[in-house]
Structure 1
Amino acid sequence: MPSPIKTCLALCAALLAGTAHAEPASLAPLLGSIEERLAIADQVALSKWDSHKAVEDRPREREVIAGAVAQAAEYTLDGATVEQFFAAQIEANKLVQYARLSEWTLQGQAPDAPRPDLVGQIRPQLDRLQKRLLQQLADFGPYRHDPQCPQWLARASHDGDRTALRQLALVRATAELCVFKG
C-alpha cells in the first residue's frame, strides 16, 4: 500500500501537470475579439464589392497600424508587438475579403444583405474593437512566451464549428501571438 505522502505527491504532480496544459483565461476573450474583427471582414467585402474598390489599401493599413502603435504605451505594450499583431489582423481580414469576393464573383452576385457604410459605420466599429484588442493583447502578454502557447492556439482554432475560411483566417490572425526564445 502506498504511503500517504507518496499518494499526495502523485496527486499534486498530476494536478500541476493538468494546469500546465490549461490555457490562460485571457486567451478566450482575445480570440473572441479577433473573431469579431474577422466577422466584420464580410461587411467590408460587401462594401468593396459595391464600390468596386480593391481589398488592398496600404495607406489605410498603415494608418490603422500607426494608430494602434501610438496607443501601445497606454496598454504597456511595445510598438513592435502591436505593429506585428495588427498587421496579422489586417492580413487575416484581407484573406476573408478576398475569399468572399471570389465566391461572389463566381456566383455573379453578392448576398442580399444590409450594407453598412464603410466610413460611417464599419470603421468606427473597428476602432472600438482596436482598443479592446490592445487591452486583451496586454492581458495575454505574459503567456506569449509559454511553451504551451502554440498548442493553446492550435486547439482554439480547431474548436467550434468554424468554416474552413474562418479557421484559416483565425490561424493567420494568431500566427505571431506566441513568442519563442531560441
Structure 2
Amino acid sequence: MSKHWLFTILTFCSFSVFANPSPNSLFTAINERLSYMEDVALFKANNQRPIEDIEREKVVINKASESAKASGLNQQSVIGFFTAQISAAKAIQYRYRADLLTEGTARKPRDLTTEVRPELIRLGKTINTEVALFLREGREFRSSDWHTFESTINQEYLTSKDKKKLFNALTQIRLL
C-alpha cells in the first residue's frame, strides 16, 4: 500500500513540474548558451577571425526564427530576443578577447564547428521550447523575475546593462 502512495505522489509531482514551467530552467538555459562565448572568442582569436560575423548572425537569427515558429512563438518577437543574445555574446567575446591581450591563456577552446555550434543550436531550440511552454500556461515574464534572471545569468563579462537588455527582449516574446 505504501508503494502505491509513493508512486502516486511521485507521478503527481513529476507531472506538476511539466504543467507549471518555471522561468528558472529557462534562465539557466540562456546562461548555459552564453557560457560558450569565451570558447567562441578564443577560437576566433586563435584562428584570426573577427568577433563580429554578420553573415553568421543572419544564419543564427534565421534558425532561431524557424525554431520559434515550430514552437508556436511569434517569429518577430523571437528575432528581437536572439538579436539581444547575439549582442550579449559579442560583449562577452570582446571583453574576454581584451583580457587575452594582457593575460593570455594556455587553454584550448572547444571546437567551434563540431562542439560549440551544435550545442548553441540545441540550446536555442530549448530556449524557444521553454518560452513557449511558459507562455502557453498563461504566464508572462514580470519585472519581479528580473532579480532571478540577473543572478542566474552569471557570465563574468556581462554587465547588468547587458543582462537588462536581454531580459527586456525576453519579456517581449509572444505566442503566435
Interval of TM-score (by shorter of Structure 1 and Structure 2) = 0.7 to 0.9
Q: 1:150 aligns with which of 137, 143, 149?
A: 143
Q: 2:127 aligns with which of 119, 129, 133?
A: 133
**Alignment partner, residue 166 of structure 2:** 173
Measure, in 1, the Cα distance between the counterparts of 2:151 and 2:93.
23
Measure, in 1, the Cα distance between the counterparts of 2:122 and 2:71.
15
Q: 1:48 to 1:87 in 2, by over 3 A?
A: same
Question: How far off is 1:163 after superposition?
Answer: 6.0
Structure 1 residue 118 corresponds to structure 2 residue 106 = no
**Alignment partner, residue 37 of structure 1:** 33
Question: How far off is 1:43 after superposition?
Answer: 0.6
Contact 2:31 2:155 in 1 (8 A): no
SS at match of 1:176: helix
Amino acid at match of 1:152: D
Amino acid at match of 2:47: S
Q: Identical aligned pairs, as a percentage?
A: 27
Contact 1:85 1:176 in 2 (8 A): yes
**Alignment partner, residue 79 of structure 2:** 83
Q: 1:116 to 1:30 in 2, by over 3 A?
A: same
Q: 1:88 to 1:74 in 2, by over 3 A?
A: same
Q: 1:26 to 1:121 in 2, by over 3 A?
A: same
For structure 2, the residue ranges without an aligned partner over 5 or more in a row are 1-19
Question: How far off is 1:140 after superposition?
Answer: 3.0
Could you state the TM-score of these two structures normalised by the residue count of structure 1? 0.73
SS at match of 1:114: coil
Question: How far off is 1:167 after superposition?
Answer: 5.0
SS at match of 2:49: coil
Could you state the TM-score of these two structures normalised by the residue count of structure 2? 0.76
Name the larger-Rg structure. 1
Amino acid at match of 2:61: I
Q: How many residues align?
A: 151
Measure, in 1, the Cα distance between the counterparts of 2:70 and 2:130.
13
**Alignment partner, residue 17 of structure 1:** none
Q: 1:65 to 1:162 in 2, by over 3 A?
A: closer
Measure, in 2, the Cα distance between the counterparts of 1:42 and 1:164.
10
Q: 1:163 to 1:76 in 2, by over 3 A?
A: closer
